[in-house]
Chain A
C-alpha cells in the first residue's frame, strides 16, 4: 500500500482537528518534581533514549522506511532487501522493537513486523513542536527551493 497518495477531494477534511486553547477541566496536573521524574525514568520501558538510539543507525532507518511503504512484513521479506545476514537483521529489528518503533504480531505461523508511529509522534510533540515547527519547516522549504534552483 502506498500511503502517501492523497486524493485532492480530501480537502473537505480541513480543520477537523481541534483548535488550540481549549481548557481542560477536572483532574489537576501531576507534580513534575524530581521523584516523579525518577519514577518515570526507571519504570517507563520505552524512553526517548532508546528511540533516538534506534534511529541513529542507517540500517534501522532503512527497515522503518520499508515498513512505512508496506506494513506487516516477515523477517524473510525484510532480510531479502538487505545485504546482511539474517542474524544481523534480527539484531536490528530487536533494537527497533525495544524502542517500540516496531511491534510484532503473530499471524498463523508467521511473525509479522509493523511500524509503530507513536514513539516518533511523541518525539515530534516533545522536540519539534517545542522548537517552533513553523520556522524549521520554512528553513526546510528554503533549502529545497535553493537546491532545486541549483539543479
Chain B
C-alpha cells in the first residue's frame, strides 16, 4: 500500500503497473509531463532569492573541493570588509561545526548546516538556516557549500552568484574533469596562489584554457589568504557585485528552452 500518494499498488493489481491489458477494467494512459526533476528545489531557491532581494542581501554560493581554502578565504574576507558591510555565513558540512566556530570568531553571525551523509546543500536546507539569520540587517551572505566538485552544481540555492575555488594544489585540468561545476561558476578563484612559485605542475594558463573550452568567459582571479595575503581582485569583484543591480543568476540557466509545468 502506497503511503505517499494514495494510489494503491498491491499484489493483486501490481501487474497493471506493468501494463498488462487483461488484468482488469481500466486503461493505461501516458501522461506527458516535461517537468524539471528539480522543480521543487528550484521553487524553494526562488523563494530564498526573493527573501534576499527583499532585504537587499547579496547571496554568494562558494563551492570547491574539500581543502581548497573556502573557510580561510572567508575569514580573510570578513576581516577586510566587516567594517563596511554587514556579513553572515551559512556553513555546510557533513559533520562538525568547526568552520562555524572559525567564522564566528571573526565577529559575524554564522549558521551551521550539518548534512550528515548528504554531499550537497539544497534550497530547503538553506531556507531553514535563513530563519536563524538576521537577514534585515545584512548586506552580504556567503553560503559555504559542502566541499565537493560534483553534487552541489546541480542544486540552485537561491544565490545571486556562484564562486568556484580552484586550488593551486589541485590539477590545472579540474575544469575539464568537472565541467558541470565550472560551467556554473560566475567567478573562478585560483586559491593559495602564493604557492604557484613552488608548484611547478600547476599552470594557470592551462586552467584558463580548460575553462574556456567549457564555452565560458568566466573571469579567473588569484587569491592568497594566509602568507603574503593577496585579496585585491577578490575584494574588487565583491564590491562590484555589491554595487551592481542583482541580476537573478540561477545555477542552471534555462538554455534548453522553457519547461512546461503541469
Do these two chains interact? Answer: no
